[in-house]
Chain A
Amino acid sequence: MIGHLLRRIIGGLIVLLALSALIYALFYLAPSDPAILACGKGCTPERLADVRTAMGLDEPVLTQYWHFLQGIVAGRDYPFGPGVRHCPAPCLGYSFETSQPVTTLLLDRIPVSFSLALGAEILSLTLGIGTGLLSGTRRFRWFDRLVNGLVLAGYATPVFLVGLLLLLLFCVHLQWLPFPTYVPFTTDPLLWAQNLILPWISLAVIQTAAYARLTRAGLADSLAEDHIRTARAYGIPERRILWRKALRGALLPLVTLTAVDLAQIITSAVLTETMFGLPGVGQLLVGAVNQIDLPVVVGVTLVTGLIMVCANAAADLLYAAVDPRVELR
């Protein structure tokens, strides 16, 4: 087990290293001059020169990359103009535009993205599995067809469209809810939830569709398996077969999917954040793109990569934990 964990961690680190090298190469070797991209709007020639020296852009690429890696582990100091901008570890870059280390900016935003992702995931899991089960047990034919139709519609609706419609409906037309802003959980949980309800629903629409379909198919497959027939042959009541035996096999793939989906939402909820004005990681990125703040872009990309790698590793471990047939390699 330890051996496996170690190998997984090393594997993950290698992937992260490759990712960081790739990102570094892409951005700093790209056609546009990285100094201009890091300088931001309102860039003067002196500022440009300062930025160039601070980031060490005149050095060979590999040295730059090395400094970058060092910064992640031990922090980095950027000599900027007369003073020094200090960037504590883990230093993912320094935003000259906003005069803050990228890490600080990120740390402010991550709780928001995480709140969004967690709520949406829980909502879509409960709704998705619930509907999938109900339609899978075929108790009501019409329900099954309805769910099928909704699933298809769910796939066809982009999240920002749903968000837009929800905003129109609940905030403008019916005026049941005020326009959402972000209230941290620690400040006021109720307000936190109230403001996040609409974004959660927007994200949950398509997720629920996917989960419902998976659950339904998984249940159908599971019920057709041989060991279910054995259970029936030994007189085990149908209800017990469904809940204790068939469900386990059906929901297995969902467990691992949850970990990955959670990470997906955190990293890709840009659209939802923009729609609802939530100051999350995605918003940070879009803002950085519009302000032309390269270090922030790089930092965000790296962190989201890290989150995905961790989620994949977690998914693997979860799968092995939940399915006794799977052996860790």
Chain B
Amino acid sequence: MTLLEVDDLKISFGDKRAVDGLSFTLAAGGALGIVGESGSGKSTAALSLLGLTGGAVSGKIRFGGTDLVAGAPWKDIRGARIAMVFQEPLTALNPFQTVGDQIAEVYRLHTGSSRRAARERAVEVLGQVHIPDPVRRATAYPHQFSGGMRQRALIAMAVACRPELIVADEPTTALDVTVQAQILDLLDEVRATTGAALLLISHDLGVVAGSTESVIVMRDGRAVESGSTESVLLSPRHDYTKALLDAVPKPGNREFSPGAPLLRVQDVRKHFPQPRRGSFRKPPPVRAVDGVTLDVHAGETLGIVGESGTGKTTLARMMVGLIPLTSGTITFDGVDIARRRGRSVQMVFQDPLSSLNPRRTIGESIADPLRLSGVRDPRARVENLLERVGLSTSEYDRYPHQLSGGMRQRVGIARAVAPSPRLIVCDEPVSSLDVTTQAQVLALLEELREELGLSLVFVSHDLAVLRRIADRVAVLKDGLVVEIGPTSEVYEQPQHPYTKELLAAVPVADPAEARRLRALRSTTPR
């Protein structure tokens, strides 16, 4: 039975067409994925199902007999028949209300039940999403939950009124990869137990692979390909879909032999003092990095993988001398790293927008390190670099906000390469980019690495990216290296349980593989 039928949906904001003729159907209890990069219109389409878009909407959205475009009884639909799970669980929940109260409020609104019954329902759904100790947790505030727990709470709220359709808009993007996998498993389970249909929206093909029956690929407001998940992901027809699948990083196969150790990290620790919270005793410090020892050999690319909070950014910043060490040593070519600041070691940052001074032209930003090392007129050099990273020399005088994310990151790379360093530490350099741009920037890094003989330290949470670019990989957990070795070995024969857990959680764009991994996760004790 068809639950949802969208026919030639068009949404415009002024001149801009966000959605340009989208059509699809979703059966009751089915699971549909919508995949697209940023700006494809997928989120706008999803929001239109709840009438939250604003702008001019035309076309038809038939939901269980009602046309949602022509003016729907939203009161009865929102939350009760169609429920939405948003991307950022921290800001999506009301910070001033306890989680239980928020869920109860929604439940009472749509069912008219008593306060007590609503509270019981809240506890019930919190348990349904596997939040431990739901009775106590219902009285907690959102900021007291971890990221994954918050997302579960959002899903609980979505399930509370037993909707027919759950729309999940990038529900896992803000989460760690292991948590991501758990949330996707949860959505799958919820669908099975409540019989609700699922509309899953993501930029990541791997995310929809294991959780949907059919999928639509969107670009510029239109669906360029649609069909069963199997057929679209395994035998794509449209070029764009093929490009998306191609852009997923594939394992690299770089043949090379490493040189002598260049950067030596020895028993490095970094402790951050914790602010006192009401007690007189000083609380124990946060042990961001708790005894890490590793070497970076000349010419090699060392990958450092870990989820958020594992200390990888702290470690990366210590490697370039930005953060002083609490104990241990880091030496470059035998000299302490603090003395080598500005020479030999450079950094590429994650967020291209905040890594460039918004008031300075990009040419000047690249010229800065050159000026610092005494070059008087760096313009020629900078123009050279701009070309080398694939930008035209006319971009010199443009400002960061005038460039796209990918172009900005190229500028960041040019700046890092400008003073001719021997080692570059890259802190999540492609994490905030679209998957196609990601591939281009990675290719650029690989080229530069060969051409300039660079050694790289590549920090990332994305295992697929590291598999492509890193020669060796170190797995970081709770400030410690739990496993380190050549990339192929670590990926094919992981030793440490955490490594295994990480690898099992990576979303893969192969539906059969995704289901296998899910089965693996449900049997592995957490």
* Residue positions of A touching B, CB distance < 8 A: 1-4, 7, 225-227, 229-237, 245, 248-249, 323-325, 327-329
Q: Are B92 and A230 in contact, CB atoms less than 8 angstroms apart?
A: yes
Q: Are A4 and B278 in contact, CB atoms less than 8 angstroms apart?
A: yes
Among B92, B276, B279, B280, the one with the most A-chain Cβ atoms within 10 Å of its Cβ is: B92
* A/B interface sample: 12 pairs, CB < 8 A: A3-B279, A227-B92, A230-B92, A234-B109, A235-B75, A236-B106, A245-B94, A248-B96, A325-B95, A325-B141, A325-B143, A327-B278
- The 8 Å CB contact of B91, one of A226, A231, A248, is A226
* Shortest distance from the beta carbon of B441 to any chain A beta carbon, whole Å: 30
* Shortest distance from the beta carbon of B370 to any chain A beta carbon, whole Å: 42
Q: Are A235 and B76 in contact, CB atoms less than 8 angstroms apart?
A: yes
Q: Are A233 and B96 in contact, CB atoms less than 8 angstroms apart?
A: no
Q: Are B141 and A324 in contact, CB atoms less than 8 angstroms apart?
A: yes
The 3 closest A-B pairs by CB, nearest first: A234-B79, A235-B78, A226-B91
User: Using Cβ atoms and an 8 Å threshold, which residues of chain A touch B78?
Assistant: 232-235
* Shortest distance from the beta carbon of B99 to any chain A beta carbon, whole Å: 11
User: Using Cβ atoms and an 8 Å threshold, which residues of chain B touch A4?
Assistant: 278
Q: Are B93 and A230 in contact, CB atoms less than 8 angstroms apart?
A: yes
A324 to B93, CA, bound (A): 13
B275 at the interface (CB under 8 A from A): yes
* Shortest distance from the beta carbon of B171 to any chain A beta carbon, whole Å: 13
User: Using Cβ atoms and an 8 Å threshold, which residues of chain B touch A3?
Assistant: 278-280
Known pairs A230-B93, A233-B50, A234-B157; list 18 more (Cβ under 8 Å). Answer: A3-B279, A4-B278, A226-B86, A227-B91, A229-B52, A229-B92, A232-B78, A233-B52, A233-B84, A234-B83, A235-B74, A235-B75, A235-B76, A235-B106, A325-B143, A328-B277, A329-B276, A329-B278
B77 at the interface (CB under 8 A from A): yes
Q: Are A227 and B94 in contact, CB atoms less than 8 angstroms apart?
A: yes
B385 at the interface (CB under 8 A from A): no
B88 at the interface (CB under 8 A from A): yes
* Shortest distance from the beta carbon of A200 to any chain B beta carbon, whole Å: 32
* Shortest distance from the beta carbon of B92 to any chain A beta carbon, whole Å: 5
User: Using Cβ atoms and an 8 Å threshold, which residues of chain A touch B84?
Assistant: 230, 233-234
B185 at the interface (CB under 8 A from A): no
Residues A235 and B88 in contact in the complex (CB < 8 Å), given A328-B277, A329-B275:
no
User: Using Cβ atoms and an 8 Å threshold, which residues of chain A touch B277?
Assistant: 327-329
User: Using Cβ atoms and an 8 Å threshold, which residues of chain B touch A248?
Assistant: 96
Residues A226 and B88 in contact in the complex (CB < 8 Å), given A235-B80, A236-B105, A328-B278:
yes
* Shortest distance from the beta carbon of B285 to any chain A beta carbon, whole Å: 16
A26 to B280, CA, bound (A): 35
User: Using Cβ atoms and an 8 Å threshold, which residues of chain A touch B109?
Assistant: 234-236
* Shortest distance from the beta carbon of A239 to any chain B beta carbon, whole Å: 12
- The 8 Å CB contact of B278, one of A1, A225, A237, A324, is A1
User: Using Cβ atoms and an 8 Å threshold, which residues of chain A touch B105?
Assistant: 236
User: Using Cβ atoms and an 8 Å threshold, which residues of chain A touch B79?
Assistant: 233-236
Residues A232 and B52 in contact in the complex (CB < 8 Å), given A3-B278, A225-B91, A227-B94:
yes
Interface residues in B90-125 (C-beta closer than 8 Å to A): 91-96, 105-106, 109-110
User: Using Cβ atoms and an 8 Å threshold, which residues of chain A touch B74?
Assistant: 235
Chain B residue nearest to A329 in the complex (CB): B275
* Shortest distance from the beta carbon of B118 to any chain A beta carbon, whole Å: 13
A323 to B157, CA, bound (A): 23
User: Using Cβ atoms and an 8 Å threshold, which residues of chain B touch A324?
Assistant: 95-96, 141, 143
User: Using Cβ atoms and an 8 Å threshold, which residues of chain A touch B278?
Assistant: 1-4, 327-329
* Shortest distance from the beta carbon of A237 to any chain B beta carbon, whole Å: 7
User: Using Cβ atoms and an 8 Å threshold, which residues of chain A touch B276?
Assistant: 7, 329
Chain A residue nearest to B80 in the complex (CB): A235
Residues A230 and B86 in contact in the complex (CB < 8 Å), given A236-B105, A236-B106, A245-B94:
yes
User: Using Cβ atoms and an 8 Å threshold, which residues of chain A touch B76?
Assistant: 235
User: Using Cβ atoms and an 8 Å threshold, which residues of chain A touch B93?
Assistant: 227, 230
Interface residues in B116-149 (C-beta closer than 8 Å to A): 141, 143
Interface residues in B28-58 (C-beta closer than 8 Å to A): 50, 52
* Shortest distance from the beta carbon of A281 to any chain B beta carbon, whole Å: 35
* Shortest distance from the beta carbon of B103 to any chain A beta carbon, whole Å: 10
A249 to B279, CA, bound (A): 29
* Shortest distance from the beta carbon of A82 to any chain B beta carbon, whole Å: 53
* Shortest distance from the beta carbon of A311 to any chain B beta carbon, whole Å: 22
User: Using Cβ atoms and an 8 Å threshold, which residues of chain A touch B157?
Assistant: 234
A229 to B50, CA, bound (A): 11
A276 to B279, CA, bound (A): 49
* Shortest distance from the beta carbon of A305 to any chain B beta carbon, whole Å: 26
Among B88, B141, B279, the one with the most A-chain Cβ atoms within 10 Å of its Cβ is: B279
User: Using Cβ atoms and an 8 Å threshold, which residues of chain B touch A237?
Assistant: 75
User: Using Cβ atoms and an 8 Å threshold, which residues of chain B touch A7?
Assistant: 276
A7 to B50, CA, bound (A): 50
A229 to B169, CA, bound (A): 13
* Shortest distance from the beta carbon of B152 to any chain A beta carbon, whole Å: 15
User: Using Cβ atoms and an 8 Å threshold, which residues of chain B touch A323?
Assistant: 95-96
Interface residues in B55-86 (C-beta closer than 8 Å to A): 74-80, 83-84, 86
Chain A residue nearest to B143 in the complex (CB): A325
A231 to B101, CA, bound (A): 13
User: Using Cβ atoms and an 8 Å threshold, which residues of chain A touch B141?
Assistant: 324-325
A249 to B76, CA, bound (A): 27
Chain B residue nearest to A6 in the complex (CB): B280
Among B74, B91, B94, B141, the one with the most A-chain Cβ atoms within 10 Å of its Cβ is: B94
User: Using Cβ atoms and an 8 Å threshold, which residues of chain B touch A325?
Assistant: 95, 141, 143
User: Using Cβ atoms and an 8 Å threshold, which residues of chain B touch A230?
Assistant: 84, 86, 92-94
User: Using Cβ atoms and an 8 Å threshold, which residues of chain A touch B80?
Assistant: 235
- The 8 Å CB contact of A235, one of B91, B92, B110, B275, is B110
User: Using Cβ atoms and an 8 Å threshold, which residues of chain A touch B280?
Assistant: 3
